[in-house]
Amino acid sequence: MSSFQILCLVILICFIASTSAYVSLSVVEMVLAAVFYVIYMCDLNTRIGIINWPWSDFFRTLIAAILYLIISIIVLVEHNNSSKIIAGVVGLIAACLFGYDAYFTFPLKKQRHTAAPTGPTDGPV
């Protein structure tokens, strides 16, 4: 299991213990993390050229960060018991980690430019 799957499983357990209204986000993110893990481990991203995998992974993590942030704030505002507080705090940690992953999977950050030639361009001297 990847670290994001484990984190989503912990949040899923906390959300189930506190309220079942926010469980679907954890389940969807856990399944998507598993799908992307299998795709990258089986090297399917090089075989399936129709989908731009770096951008889809970036948008998956960015959307997860935003949704976990929103849901965690909602859960922390309506804190009735300790399991909701724990779920909200772990959700905020997940939002930070998904944001960190989105920052480092940003596809344009990985593009490198080649150095310009520094020799004379009019031929040998």
What would the pLDDT profile of 8-37 be if each residue is shown by its tens digit?
A: 677 777 767 666 667 777 778 878 888 888
pTM of the model: 0.72
Residues composing the chain: 125
Phi/psi region, residue 43 (left: phi>0; alpha: psi -120 to 50; beta: rest), is: left
On whether the CB atoms of residues 53 and 39 are closer than 8 A, the answer is: yes
What would the pLDDT profile of 40-58 be if each residue is shown by its tens digit?
A: 888 888 888 888 888 888 8
Chain centroid to CA 119: 44
Q: Is 122 helix (H, G, I), strand (E, B) or coil?
A: coil
Q: Does residue 74 surpass a pLDDT of 80? A: yes
Cα–Cα dist 72/26, whole Å: 12
Break the chain into its structural domains and give their ranges: 26-44+52-112
Q: What is the pLDDT confidence band of residue 66, given thresholds at 50, 70 and 90?
A: very high
